[in-house]
């Protein structure tokens, strides 16, 4: 059962990276969906999204489905939508008539913000980017396959990490960092080469 297994978005993002044994970027969101027994459907097949919705999560009483808008051009936006929906499920957000209202048009902004925070931290873990020495939005956007606007937010977070006195005080974040150790070592020196 994946619904509501984590509590706070930031802790949830770390715990989900750990539980899904993710040790490289970009995070393979489709594999995470599959590994958690969730069925991913394109809206061009499911035809379920309301106008303005980019994704929904539906529980049919037995199984979870994530339906995403596949008509948008950007693969980065699709990845974010799927990660956002994973956030709703993992964080156990209240279901609205057994349905999570889609990204960015939700009635509950608190819940939408939490799902966005989850997606952002899950796709672009700050400690990994910090370990890589990646801090420009362009580099972050490229390695995490997220939009430049999401990457800009992550970039600010990494600057905060640089300014912290203490090295990764949260044990979950430490564990994520350890899990990505090899990836960080292999990719660290590519920064700024191109």
Residues at the contact surface with Zn ion, assessed by CB under 5 A: 103, 106, 112, 115
Give the nearer residue to Zn ion in terms of CB position, either 102 or 131.
102
Q: Which residue, 7 or 188, is less far from Zn ion as judged by CB? A: 7
Q: Both ends of the chain: CA-CA distance in Å?
A: 44
Q: Which residue, 81 or 141, is less far from Zn ion as judged by CB?
A: 81
Distance between CA atoms of residues 2 and 179, nearest Å: 22
Q: Minimum distance from CB of 112 to Zn ion (Å)?
A: 5
Distance CA 49, CA 168 (A): 40
CB of 95 to Zn ion, least distance (A): 12
Query: Residue 127 Cβ, how far from Zn ion at the closest point, in Å?
Result: 25
| Residue closer to Zn ion (CB basis): 12 or 25 | 12
Q: How far is the CB of 42 from Zn ion (least distance, A)?
A: 18
Residue with nearest beta carbon to Zn ion: 103
Count the Cβ atoms, other than its own, within 10 Å of residue 26: 16
Q: Packing angle between helix 109-123 and helix 9-19, nearest 10 degrees? A: 40
The 3-state secondary structure of 30-66 reads HHHHHHCCCEEEEHHHHCCCCCCCCEEEEECCCCEEE
């Amino acid at each position: 059962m994946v619904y509501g297994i984590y509590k706070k978005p930031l802790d949830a993002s770390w715990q989900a990276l750990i539980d899904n044994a993710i040790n490289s970027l970009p995070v393979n969101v489709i594999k995470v969906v599959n590994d958690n027994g969730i069925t991913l459907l394109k809206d061009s097949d499911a035809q379920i999204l309301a106008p303005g919705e980019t994704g929904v999560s539906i529980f049919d009483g037995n199984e979870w489905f994530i339906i995403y808008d596949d008509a948008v051009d950007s693969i980065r936006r699709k990845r974010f939508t799927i990660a956002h929906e994973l956030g709703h499920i993992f964080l156990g957000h209240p279901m609205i008539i057994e349905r999570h209202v889609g990204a960015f048009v939700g009635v509950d902004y608190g819940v939408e913000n939490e799902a966005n925070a989850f997606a952002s931290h899950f796709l672009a873990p700050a400690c990994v980017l910090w370990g890589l020495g990646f801090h420009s939005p362009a580099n972050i956007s490229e390695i995490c396959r997220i939009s430049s606007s999401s990457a800009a937010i992550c970039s600010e977070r990494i600057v905060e990490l640089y300014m912290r006195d203490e090295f990764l005080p949260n044990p979950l974040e430490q564990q994520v960092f350890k899990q990505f150790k090899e990836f960080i070592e292999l990719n660290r020196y590519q920064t700024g080469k191109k």
